[in-house]
Structure 1
Amino acid sequence: MKITFLTPGTGSYYCGACMRDNALANALIQSGHEAELLPMYLPLMLDEESEGLDSDSPVFFGGINIYLQQKFSIFRNSPEWMDRLLNKPGLLQSVAKRSHMTSARDHGEMTFEMLRLDGADFEKELRKLYSWINDHGRPDVLCLSTALQSGLAREIKKQWDIPVVCCFQGEDSFLDSLPDEFRERCWILMAERCRDADLLLGPSNFYGRLMEKRLGLDEGVIKTQYNGINLEGFRGRKSLNVPAIGYLARMCEAKGLALLVDAFIHLRVQLGNENCRLEVAGAMTQGDVPLVESLKKKLSDLGLTDAVGWRPNISREEKQDFLSGLSVFTVPVQYEEAFGLYVIEAMAASVPVVQPNRSAFPELIESSGGGVCVDMDSPEQLAAAWHDLLETPERLLEIGDRGRFGVEQHYSTEAMKNSFITAVESLVQSKSKNE
């Protein structure tokens, strides 16, 4: 079976959806299937080798091209040499680093147009995609990495009689952040376009039910496809001289970085854990720098600069080494998290996790046993949860071991691949019977 993944890239930092698609494609290839990754909008930033990404593959619906075509219709007929120039990976990556400078209105307009996706307006971009796929072999299944791409489902099925799978991965928080004039229209349009797909996959039971309600879909329409990670290279925790709290996610307000720092200050100053360290790692864009600098100043004013380590934009090997040096792990997200790949990575390194008692976290932690969920309405609550765990080293060790075993059982690439194949094989068989 051949599966093609159309995956939006970030161009400047690692993203969970990109890493998930790459891990799944690699696992499919290693099992004897054909799989390819086609980057969309921006180049893919991957933390491990990709067997499914062709080095000659262009970036489809290149971000600069799409922006210009939306603003100025003349660019919908621009010559091929100009498109190639605007789609150069280096240029796209440079622009991606400045994406925080794009207005909210522009984000709203582009999101709406890609969900609406009029075949006439985007004929040039669709033609490039169709040509590449025809030259490299039509897939048995085409997988859209996020529901924000669902506008493509209808157009692809006009071109080929193949099943289209549409995955969900945190679209609600993005749509809710759009300006009023686009927010409701994009929600309505995404609900319509998702119905064009043959299969809808959500990364957790929690998120599937949430999006069914938000989109007006029948309960159970979105099937659960848990994310998985490649466990190679994840080691057990090191023996530490001092305890260390860890965070591995984008360094932004939405992920709860400010709450994390305030909780650490409370742990050190009020609760008396004076030798504890805080280690922060993850993607940091130019738009995240002001927050990080303000938190560094707050720590400096309290004399805690040397108690906190900052490691932005680390590689896979650096990430694995980082996780093995932690006592406890937390990403106190401020929105409804669809899954939380970072939680699985921490548990793979045998690090106990402390997460908010909401979103997908109770589901992940209950199935793995690799942590605890607590209310995090204040920094004091989070600090108290850390303090309780750090006071019981035996419990930390037990939870860490359970978490590693739970990830091996439920959240490996092998488990993800098997679940995905089961889901899509029935689509292909059903399509064959109807022909």
Structure 2
Amino acid sequence: MMLGLARKITERCGPPIVCSLSGEDIFLEKIRPPYYVRTRQLLRERAAEIQAFVALNEYYANFMSEYLSIGREQVHVIPHGLNLEGHGSPHKKSAEGPQRIGYLARICKDKGLHLLLEACEILIQEHGCTNIEVHAAGYLGAGDRGYFQHIQRRVDQGPLAKKFQYHGELDRDNKIAFLQSLDIFSTPTLYPESKGLPLLEAWANAIPAVVPGHGAFTELVADTEGGILFEPHNPGDLAKCLAELLENRDRANHLGKLGQVAILDRYHSKIMARRTKEFYEKISL
């Protein structure tokens, strides 16, 4: 999004220019004609002036190399790394208490909260999983309040009545506590996810995940084995995958532990810092 600055920086200062890539296409794809075509054209022109790009995963590196019409070798991958302080084990839960399915992301249609709620209605009505609660947290902007009010009305009138709670936007400590309170994590984005940070945060607390099989999620689940992929946009398949874990707690706990092991091994801030340092030292030679 800041490609337009690169030419002037190069002219005045002369260092190699590196541009990070982290989901800009979601905004760009909403630009209306006739500005969309011109914007894409300018991005491709200015991308040619950048020495290197950095993405958080192979999926987005491949996607953006085509999107910007640049060589794949120009896009380097440095995976996300979490600050692990405060993360740990999930809260001990009563065997009789409700099982908590959690969503952590911005409250908007693109992130798929409505899809999760529809899947949980199916869980209750078709799978007999009545002892559940759905808990959501994340920023709710003014432009998305109508969306949230609509799904809240649906919840209040359906099988999830009194089983759904929105916790608002959380600070770091409360976010970690929220994640540790869950049994299963799911943020069923409608678009191919470019980052997947909340998923990594769930795994840092040994919470198993059910996420759509597209974008970075496919790559992260394949690498960590910390969750199940469902067919994107399909609430019935999401419900089926959630039921599999709700009905087999040993498997769910195993997946959560696998995710946590992967975070501790290769998705933490120290290794990300080392990889970043090595990359910038190499490109500055």
- Shorter-chain-normalised TM-score: which range? over 0.9
1:251 maps to 2:107: yes
1:196 maps to 2:49: yes
Q: Deviations over 1:99-155 (max 9, x none)?
A: xxxxxxxxxxxxxxxxxxxxxxxxxxxxxxxxxxxxxxxxxxxxxxxxx01111111
What amino acid does structure 1 have at the position aligned with 2:25? D
Shift of 1:270: 2.1
Q: Is the 8 A contact 2:99 2:131 kept in 1?
A: yes
Q: 2:129 aligns with which of 268, 273, 298?
A: 273
What amino acid does structure 1 have at the position aligned with 2:60? Y
Trace 1:2-401 onto structure 2 (pairs within 5 A). 148-240=1-93, 241-302=97-158, 304-401=160-257
Shift of 1:392: 0.8
Task: Classify the secondary structure of the residue corresponding to 1:254.
Answer: helix
Could you state the TM-score of these two structures normalised by the residue count of structure 2? 0.96
What amino acid does structure 2 have at the position aligned with 1:381? D
CA distance in 2, matches of 1:193, 1:227: 26
Identity of aligned residues (%): 29
Could you state the TM-score of these two structures normalised by the residue count of structure 1? 0.63
Q: Is the 8 A contact 1:296 1:305 kept in 2?
A: no
CA distance in 2, matches of 1:223, 1:248: 28
Task: Classify the secondary structure of the residue corresponding to 1:305.
Answer: coil
CA distance in 2, matches of 1:427, 1:201: 12
Task: Classify the secondary structure of the residue corresponding to 1:172.
Answer: helix
Shift of 1:238: 1.3
* Structure 1: tracts of 5 or more residues without a match: 1-147, 431-435
Q: What stretches of structure 1 move > 4 A for 4+ residues in a row?
A: none
CA distance in 2, matches of 1:400, 1:408: 12
CA distance in 1, matches of 2:67, 2:280: 25
Task: Classify the secondary structure of the residue corresponding to 1:312.
Answer: coil
Residue of structure 2 in register with 1:425 after alignment: 281
Q: Is the 8 A contact 2:51 2:74 kept in 1?
A: no
Shift of 1:280: 0.5
What amino acid does structure 2 have at the position aligned with 1:348? A
Shift of 1:370: 1.2
Shift of 1:262: 0.6
* Structure 2: tracts of 5 or more residues without a match: none
Task: Classify the secondary structure of the residue corresponding to 2:65.
Answer: helix
Shift of 1:303: 5.4
Q: Is the 8 A contact 1:173 1:336 kept in 2?
A: no
Shift of 1:257: 1.1
Q: Is the 8 A contact 1:348 1:403 kept in 2?
A: yes
CA distance in 2, matches of 1:150, 1:352: 38
What amino acid does structure 2 have at the position aligned with 1:216? S
Shift of 1:225: 1.5
Shift of 1:287: 1.1
CA distance in 1, matches of 2:159, 2:212: 28
Q: Deviations over 1:77-101 (max 9, x none)?
A: xxxxxxxxxxxxxxxxxxxxxxxxx
Shift of 1:402: 0.9
Task: Classify the secondary structure of the residue corresponding to 1:280.
Answer: strand
CA distance in 2, matches of 1:389, 1:376: 18
Shift of 1:334: 0.7
Residue of structure 2 in register with 1:34 after alignment: none
Is the radius of gyration larger for structure 1 or structure 2?
A: 1
What amino acid does structure 2 have at the position aligned with 1:297? R
CA distance in 2, matches of 1:356, 1:246: 15
Q: Deviations over 1:337-388 (max 9, x none)?
A: 1121111011111100111111111111121221111213321110110001
Q: Is the 8 A contact 2:89 2:205 kept in 1?
A: yes
CA distance in 1, matches of 2:187, 2:166: 15
More deviation in 226-235 or 371-380?
371-380
CA distance in 1, matches of 2:64, 2:118: 32
